[in-house]
Amino acid sequence: MSLLIRNGFVYDPLNGIEGERMDMATEGGKIVEKVKESSAKIIDASGMIVMPGGVDIHSHIAGSEVNAGRLLRPEDHLKDIEVKGEVTRSGVGYSIPSTFTTGYRYARMGYTTVMVPSMPPLEARHTHEEMDDTPIIDKAAFPLLGDWWFVLEFLKNGLIEECAAHVAWMMKATKGYAIKIVNPGGLECWGFGTNVRSIDDTVPRFDITPREILRGLCKVNRLLNLPHTIHVHTNNLGKPGNYITTLKTMDCVRDLADGKKPVIHITHCQFSAFKGSDWSNMRSGAEKIARYVNLHNHVTIDIGQVVFTDTTTMTADGPFQHSLHQLSGNKWVNHDVETETSSGIVPFKYRRRSYVHATQWAIGLELALMIRSPWKVFLTTDHPNAAPFTTYPKIISWLMSKNARQRTLKKINPRARHRCSLPSIEREYDLYEVAITTRAGVAKALGLKHKGHLGVGADADMAVYDINPKRIDPSEEYTITKKAFERAAYTIKNGEIVARNGEIVKPVTGRTYWADVKTHEPNVAEADLKQRFGDYWTVQYENYAIPERYLHYSEPIMIKADV
Amino acid sequence: MKNACAIGEAKFLNYSRHRLETPLMRTSNKLVEASLNEAIERSVEILVQAKYPILYGWSNTSCEAIKKGIELAEEVGGVIDNTTTICHGPSILSIQDVGIPSSTLGQLRHRADLVIYWGSDPWSAHPRHIERYTAFSEGRFQESEWRNYVTKSGAIQSQKRLQRASDLVFKRGVSEIPEVGSRPLTFSKRGRKLVVVDVRKTRTAEVADYFLQVEPGKDYELLQALRLLIRYEELEVDKVAGIPVEVLEDLADMLIGCDFGILFFGVGLTMSNGKHRNIDAALSLVRDLNQKTKFLIMPMRGHFNVTGANTVSTWQTGYPYAVDFSQGYPYYNPGETSVIDILCRGESDAGLVIASDPVAHFPREVVQNLVRNPLIVIDPLETPTSLMADVVIPSAFVGIEVEGTAYRMDHVPLPLKKVVEPPRGILSDEDILERIIQRVRGLKEGKQ
């Protein structure tokens, strides 16, 4: 089937196209030069903008911790329902939507690719089962490897190549895409209820520091030629004064970068950009972080923007979640995973009138606005930690409009308002920059070559929004832009119209990307794992790895490693 | 047969006994053989005509089949519920109130130095649990207590022999045999400690280092007393639930003093007086303990894939059991939408039972209401429920004759393998349900 989208204002930053009025043609799921008009379905996009399908770099939409959150919070679902439609399945929201609903809601916003950033390797099968049940969007998952005993042991002994070979096995076994590191060293400590306090603390029983883990896995990442960088959730997340840890984390791999290519991604950076020594004098550290990111090319970040709403926090950072439970008094789920990782869940409500929450809100926007290049900073809410992903349009309106920010600023805690620098920031994103921070830049950072742009040969994933850039001034008419981004006029996935004006018309199956890393001697790592398997896990070696046929729509990315 | 416990081995070795061989349909109050197509057609008719059908069971089949079940429930606007409703339903209600600090089983094998089984008897019901995951397993930071146990029981045996010999020599009557296992809590022990709390001395209690016998129905009191004691509050009574307060103080010290504790609870806690209040107290106790040390808690689940039934239901509908689709979207309110309560009120007008046997387990009145309406049963085996059904469709054994996915009690997903071919003409649960769904859709479209 071919498709012709006529007369839209096209925003395709990777190809340098900024609001040019042009036609886009697709055939066989790809963007093509042109199609026969007589046989193509024609969409009239005049007066609308056309962008590549949205790409989300970090969103907890599937897996064991997400599902534990769903189970924990019936009160989250009761008021937000999706009724079964003619082609759609029913489901519930709000902050942790059921799988079908998740797929539909992303598609309605014009998003077509989403990264699932924390997959406990032992429970990878669960993550994939849920991803398979999440329709329309393409997905990939990042296995949690920063506290895996094999990694700790190899890195402790300086065996980078052996470590790389084992990580390659893990990528294939769990059908993972990138290396996720959460509170390196801290999760192993949490096994006995403790934590690390800085990136140079020693992890008891393993005699290794977070710095060594970060550097080691960064080298491993390079040896394996993985498409994305290491994806890091810093130590000390959510603690006042942690911006220093974040700066140290970014700086500790600076020398491993060659040229301009980034080597580390700091995720939901807002939670790692607190100044101060306790909650009463906590302040924004966004400026310091933005300055570092502006001066260096080896880092990318995503913001993890807070929106004032009732949501659910969930991370693999067990100790952080426990402290959040202590702080808030809200119910708490902890789930440690043998030899690999931990996780925790706490429901949380961000309040405008709270000094800390309002400051957090400002930090996210400050990061996005103070970092000059949108190729280095991406829009996320660390769904559902800082807010559900359905709030992206609201955040886009804040980025695009000082007025929109002022309106919210008026309502927040006055002390937070006076102490943050957000009110003095004049910058407003234009549509081109929005396209970078929500699509082009993200796809580039993830190494997804066929996503995030509309060049010939790219995947035909597109979003058409009802915004006329010639008529609408997003700075003034921010509610119109917000509404448009909430409900794409058309969402096109693989050359098919999947959503129209917020209505799902065709719930197609999305792909699952994974890194099929070829190492020189995969048998050596395999034999080693087989031999030691029983000492580490309580499942059999044969039951651990996920065969490719298990995935509904597997899309391996062939990679040749240097080991 | 390798690696299976006694229960698992029995399942594998006897899978071909008491099998349903052909589809059956009830005509003039007798179950007679029918073709698969006839049985499916009749099932579809029943489900489409029903206004409020219930779809119950699911815990002995694969996640793939459960997914189909949810799709079918949504399609026919019925209620889907799994066996959680009669075992750990109260646990889930409490988790939704309090939360739960837990982990995978390997974490306990490597780290736990204090293991408590409360109202559960793994030695009989989960025969390899202690050996693989807790006191008798070899972990990275904790050693197995197996050898100590063997030495200890050996010593006790020889003590008994000595006693008998001296009884003979001195021509006394038979003196009291010393108790195997449990010792006073004040008796300190190095290494892993195994504690059992139960209303009777179970097989597990005999293996345990310490055994506390709680008076029936007083678990809640005991748990709340422990919550006070770990905060160093004084109790102004001599005994709680039949146990002297001094003993409880020692237990509280043990709870606080461990490096890594784990509390397993079973149906003894969920289904005795107090139900979810008991679990509330247990979860709160463990949550509180995390301010002082590392302590986790885990329900001892029964059916091999009951966790999977909860898990799949949760990700597709947001709720783990008792999901009502009659309004076109998932609605959950146990007590209102759980099958036992629906049947008690006599509200449903048809039933589909799969991979479970409610006639043998539900209360009598509830069963009466279940069998009064048209009943479809999908099961590999002949069960009391299948004997009372109107349509019976035999299915293949998951994990023996068909592949699939199941979730272990700690939420670790595991593949189920196929080792033999199913009998000729017998489909898997998943395929049967898929055919029903297709026919239901066909009928509905036809009507429009």
What DSSP string runs through A455-496?
Answer: STTSB--EEEE---TTT--TTT-HHHHHHHHHS-SEEEETTE
The pLDDT of B304-321, averaged and rounded, is 97
Distance CA B198, CA B300 (A): 14
Smallest Cα distance from A75 to chain B, Å:
9
B6 CB neighbour count, 10 Å cutoff: 10
Q: Do B100 and A82 touch (CB under 8 A)?
A: no
Q: What is the CATH number of the domain that holds B189?
A: 3.40.228.10
pLDDT digits (tens, 9 = 90+) for B80-112: 999 999 999 999 999 999 999 999 999 999 999
DSSP three-state, residue A374: coil
Do B357 and B256 sit in the same domain of this protein?
no
Question: What pLDDT was estimated at residue B66?
Answer: 98
Q: What is the mean pLDDT of residues A169-185?
A: 97
A192: nearest CA partner in chain B:
B294
Give A218-246 pLDDT, tens digit per residue: 999 999 999 999 999 999 999 999 999 99
Nearest chain B alpha carbon to A123: B412
Residues A242-278: pLDDT tens digits?
999 999 999 999 999 987 799 999 999 999 999 999 9
The torsion angles phi and psi of A98, rounded to 5 degrees, stand at -65, 165
Peptide bond into B413 cis (omega under 30): no
Same domain, B364 and B440: yes
Please tell me whether residue B103 adopts helix, strand or coil conformation: strand
Per the structure block, which two tokens stand in for B266? 């079973």
The one-letter amino acid code at A211 reads: R
Beta-carbon count within 10 A of A157 CB: 11
Contact predicate A331/B98, CB 8 Å:
yes
CB pairs under 8 A between A and B: 167
**Residues of chain B positioned with their CB less than 8 A from the CB of A97:** 318
Nearest CA in chain B to A135: B316
Residue B182 scores a pLDDT above 60? no
| Contact residues, B window 347-376, toward A, CB-based 8 Å cutoff | none
Please answer whether residues B385 and B377 qualify as being in contact, where contact means their C-beta atoms are separated by less than 8 angstroms: yes
Identity of residue B334: P
Q: How far is A442 from chain B (nearest CA, A)?
A: 27
| Cβ contact, residue pair B318, A92, below 8 Å | yes
- Does residue B321 lie in a domain region? yes
Backbone angles phi, psi at B161, to 5 degrees: -60, -45
Whether A554 and A512 have beta carbons less than 8 Å apart is answered as yes
- pLDDT tens digits along A441-462: 999 999 999 999 999 999 999 9
Work out how many domains chain B is built from and give that number. 2
Task: Supply the DSSP string of B215-251, one letter for each residue.
Answer: PTT-HHHHHHHHHHHTTTPPP-SSEETTEEHHHHHHH
Both B77 and B184 in one domain: the answer is no
Q: Which of A96, A123, A536 sits opposite B413 (nearest CB)?
A: A123
Cβ atoms within 10 Å, residue B120: 25
Answer yes or no: do B434 and B330 share one domain: yes
Residues B322 and B420 placed together within one structural domain of the fold: yes
Order of all β-strands in the sheet with B331-332: B30-33, B24-27, B391-394, B375-379, B350-354, B53-57, B79-82, B323-324, B331-332
Buried b (16+ CB within 10 A) or exposed e, A345-355: bbbbebeeebb
Contacts of B294 in chain A (CB under 8 A): 191-193
Measured between alpha carbons, how far apart are the two ends of chain B, in Å? 54
| Gyration radius from chain A CA atoms | 22
Interchain pair A334, B103: CB under 8 A = yes
What are the distances in angstroms from CA A258 to CA A298, A553, A558, B55, B157? 8, 35, 23, 60, 71
**Per-residue pLDDT tens for B195-237?**
999 999 999 998 899 999 999 999 999 999 999 999 999 999 9
**What is the model's pLDDT at position B174?**
61
Instruction: Record the tokens describing residue A449, joined without a space.
Output: 């070559």
CB A41 within 8 A of CB A506: no
Which has the minimum average pLDDT: A374-378, A470-474, A512-516, B147-151?
B147-151
Domain membership of residue B400 as a residue range: 19-87+305-447
Q: Chain A contact for B63, CB < 8 A?
A: yes
Model confidence band, residue A401 (pLDDT cutoffs 50, 70, 90): very high
Looking at residue B430, which CATH number applies to its domain?
Answer: 3.40.50.740
Q: Which residue from A291, A221, A233 is spatially nearest to A262, judged by alpha carbons?
A: A221
Same-domain check for residues B290 and B317: no
Pick the last residue of a domain from B246, B265, B299: B299
Task: Name which of B132, B412, B416 to mutate to probe chain A: the one with the most chain A Cβ atoms within 10 A of its Cβ.
Answer: B412
* Whether ipTM exceeds 0.85: yes
- B293, B312: one domain: no
Partners of A67 on chain B (C-beta within 8 Å) are 311, 314-315
Angstrom distance (rounded) from CA A113 to CA A104: 12
What is the side-by-side order of every strand in the sheet holding A332-336? Answer: A310-315, A344-349, A332-336, B99-103
Confirm if A312 and A326 have CB atoms less than 8 A apart. no
Domain finish residue from B252, B267, B299: B299
State residue B155's pLDDT score.
Answer: 85
pLDDT class for B176, splitting at 50, 70, 90?
A: low
Provide the CATH topology of domain A2-52+453-504.
Urease, subunit C; domain 1 (2.30.40)
Q: How far apart are the first and last CA of chain A?
A: 43
Report pLDDT for B180: 45
Q: Are residues B346 and B390 both part of a single domain?
A: yes
B389 shares contact with chain A (CB less than 8 Å): no
pLDDT in tens, A347-357: 999 999 999 99
- Sign of the Cα torsion A546, A548, A551, A554 reads positive
Report if residue B1 sits inside a domain: no
Say whether pLDDT at B448 is over 80: no
> For residues A68-93, b (16+ Cβ closer than 10 Å) or e, as one string?
bbbbbbbebbbebbbebeeebbbbbb
Strands B30-33 and B24-27 come out as antiparallel
For residues B68 and B51, state if they share a domain. yes
pTM for this model (two decimals): 0.96
Q: Does B312 lie in the same domain as B188? A: no
Percent of chain A having pLDDT more than 90? 99
Model confidence at B191, in pLDDT bands (50, 70, 90)?
confident
Domain locations along chain A:
2-52+453-504
What does each C-alpha distance from A74 to A171, B89, B143, B282, B384 come to in angstroms? 34, 14, 41, 21, 35
Query: Considering the domain boundaries, does residue B351 fall inside one?
Result: yes
Q: Are the Cβ atoms of A98 and B330 closer than 8 angstroms? A: yes
Residues B272 and B326 in one domain: no
For the cut 60, the answer to whether the pLDDT of residue A540 exceeds it is: yes
* Closest-CA distance of chain B to residue A70, Å: 6
pLDDT tier, B166 (very low <50, low <70, confident <90, very high otherwise):
confident
Of B253, B283, B299, the position where a domain reaches its end is B299
Inter-chain touch B296–A339, beta carbons under 8 Å: no
- Residue B13 inside a domain? The answer is no
pLDDT class of B181 with cuts at 50, 70, 90: very low
